[in-house]
Structure formats: C-alpha cells, structure tokens
Amino acid sequence: MSVSIAINCPSCQEPGKVNIPPDLLTKKSTGLVTVNVPKDFICEHAFQIFIDRNGKVRGYQNVDFQLEMRKEIKETVKSALAELKRTDISIQGIMSIITSNIFLRITKCSLLGIPITIISNNQLLNENLKVTFGEKFPDFAKTQFVNELEYNEEYSWTGLVVDLYFKMVNQDPSLSRFLIGQGLSSDIWRSNDPVTQRVLFQNFVERLNLDYNIIEQILKNEMEKVKLATLGKILEKSFKLKVDRDRLRFLYEMVQFRNPKLAAKVVTFDNRIKSMDLF
Ligand SMILES: [Zn+2]
C-alpha cells in the first residue's frame, strides 16, 4: 500500500501523481521528504518535490541544470558503463553513472554516520560502490542494497535512501548543503587519472576525519559552552588549522550527528546550518 500524492509540474503545470510508502512519511521526524520526478514520468520535465509528514507538497524545484549536465556527460556515461564491465571503475565513472549529486550525498552521509540504503539493480555498480566507499568508511559495509523489485511496505526507511535509477523516493536526513563537497567533485572532474581521483577522495575524507577528531577533543576538554566561531579560532591558534566557514559548519554538523551530546556544547546562531537547501 502506498500514499498517492497529487502534484503538478512546476514548469508546465501538467498534473500527475506520485506514490510514496506511508512509512517514509511517518518515520521522518524532521525535515521534508524529497522525491525525484524524472523526465517523462509526468511530462518532459524533471523536477523534485518536497513533501511534509502529512503528505502535503511543500515545494518544488526544477532540475534543469542537472539535465544539462547529464546531456554534456552522456558520452562519459557511455564509456563509464562500458568500463563498468570491469570490477574497478574510476570515481569519475561512478559519478557519471549515479551523478555527482548522489555521489556527494553518499559521501556526506557516510561522514555524518547516517545509515544508507541504495536502490539499484546493477550488481557491478553496487560492487564498485562497496569498494570505493568501503575503503574509507568501514560502516559502509552496513549499507543496505535493495533491488527495485524487492520494494515493499515493510521496508525500513531510515537514513539516506537513494535510488540510482531516479524512479523512486530519495531522502536525506541531513538537509544541509554539502558545499565543501562541491570542491571535491570539481577536482575529481578535472582529473583524468583514476588513481588521482581516488587519492583526492581519500584525502578529502581523511582530512575531515582528522579535523573532526581535533574538534571532538577540544569540546571534550572545554568546561563551558563554545561559540562556533570561537572553535574556528582555537583550531587556527592552537592547531595551526585554518578552517573556512563552510568547512567549520560541516564539521559542526558532523558533531551534531556523530556526538549530539557534545554538539550541545556549541553555541551557534547560524540558522542556515539547519535550513533546507539541496545541492
Ligand atoms: Zn512539465
């Protein structure tokens, strides 16, 4: 059984409906559920809708930009799919198949320690994801891989859910923009060498984990509450770490998800950290 929700295309107003497992709405305690509506599902437009827990549509977003991007990299996708026949595909290859957006979401949620579910029928792609993310994130081994045909209402909808075929529901419990990830993705796109791409990815993750460990230590030793900006200054003065605003905000989000008790020690008036903004 699923909940049917009436929607209209934000570009041409064509009416249609999407079916959503009721679980997804009830289990979602905060934020909104994001649904990807692919091209040719209702009309010629691709867009996203945001639904609250009462099944009410709260907003739409066009994804023209992603479509343009995908047109441009059509050839890359073709060669990546051919490459996929081997077991060892480049990160650029993975990004061109599942999109940079989804690659970054998986990276972000892995860093935050959010459980992940991947809906995919492609065994080889799944194996490649396990190798790529498993190297840096031991917990990625717990990722649930679900075949689209195995979908049912008993399905547990927690954590990040991504559908690699863009036909069904996606949800991401962290609603922040992963701004620092965009730098990673452009670095990877600029590199033609698969080894370099892996090193870029691994360094990115390692450095964030190192910074996180330092922040955790600082917060554990602090007796009183610390302002987020002050935390940035401590990192710079005592640890010679220059952390820009976006990075500091993400590190704080890591504390929020990985160690909520410790996050309570941080004072921040930065509302944008909590705001809904998808990349
Ligand atoms: Zn339309």
pLDDT in tens, 106-162: 999 999 999 998 988 888 889 899 999 999 999 999 998 988 777 665 666 678 888
What confidence score (pLDDT) does residue 31 get? 64
Give the DSSP H or E segment for 240.
Answer: none
Q: What distances in angstroms separate CA 76 from CA 107, 160, 189, one per listed residue?
A: 21, 26, 11
Say how many Å lie between the CA of residue 48 and the centre of ligand 1: 12
Structural element, H or E, at residue 102: helix 91-112
* The most confident of 17-21, 88-92, 186-190, by mean pLDDT: 186-190
Terminal-to-terminal C-alpha distance of the chain:
31
Task: Output the CA torsion 188→214→178→123 (10° steps).
Answer: 60
CA–CA distance, 235 with 221 (Å, rounded to integer): 14
Distance of CA 55 to the CA centre of its chain: 22
pLDDT of 235 higher than 90: yes
- Indicate the pLDDT class of residue 191, thresholds 50, 70 and 90: confident
Range with the poorest average pLDDT among 20-29, 93-102, 270-279: 270-279
Reported as a single tens digit per residue, the pLDDT across 148-187 is 777 665 666 678 888 776 655 567 777 678 899 999 999 9
CA of 272 to the centre of ligand 1 (A): 30
Residue 279 pLDDT: 30
Residue 86, pLDDT score: 58
What is the model's pTM? Answer: 0.69
**6 alpha carbon – ligand 1 mean position (Å):** 14
Structure tokens at 242: 């220059």
Closest CA to 109 of 59, 52, 70, 158: 158
Q: How far away, in angstroms, is 106 Cα from ligand 1 center?
A: 28
How far is Cα 119 from Cα 33, in angstroms, rounded to an integer? 16
> Quick one: average pLDDT of 2-15?
85
Question: Using an 8 Å Cβ cutoff, are 159 and 109 in contact?
Answer: yes
Ligand 1: distance of its center to the CA of 199 in Å?
41
- Cα of 172 to ligand 1 centre, how many Å? 25
Give residue 61 CA to ligand 1 midpoint distance, Å. Answer: 12
Ligand 1 centroid, distance to 55 Cα (angstroms): 21
